[in-house]
Amino acid sequence: MAETHDADEPLHLDGHHRDTISQIFQHPVGHNIEWSKALSLLNAVGTVEERHDGRFKVHVGNETEIFDRPHGKDLTEQQVVDMRRMLHSAGLQPKPKGKEV
């Protein structure tokens, strides 16, 4: 699946990033999205700064959010919801199946 985006610059996302976007937009919210994969995606589509307090300041499009590293390897449900909002706001989401790029 490819993403749609509003930016003038083309995004060069690999298959892992596209898979992570698909997982983030799944309904109901997925509970097995790895933090490391989400962080890699966020780095590819925006900026991620690890702060001195161990939290992560993420800027994607016009959205900025502060994330804590989850206790396990997977995102929390709230983190998925927040990332979904950020990606959607930036025009990044999976294309419906069957649509050509």
pLDDT in tens, 71-99: 999 999 999 999 999 999 999 988 776 55
pLDDT band at 30 (very low <50, low <70, confident <90, very high): confident
The answer, yes or no, to whether residue 6 has pLDDT greater than 60, is: no
Q: In the prediction, which pLDDT does 48 show?
A: 97
pTM of the shown model: 0.81
Give every CB contact of residue 34 below 8 A, 6+ residues apart in sequence: 73, 74, 75
- pLDDT, one tens digit per residue, over 38-61 is 999 999 999 999 999 999 999 999
Range 37-40 contact pairs with CB under 8 angstroms and sequence separation of 24 or more:
38/75, 38/79, 38/83, 40/16
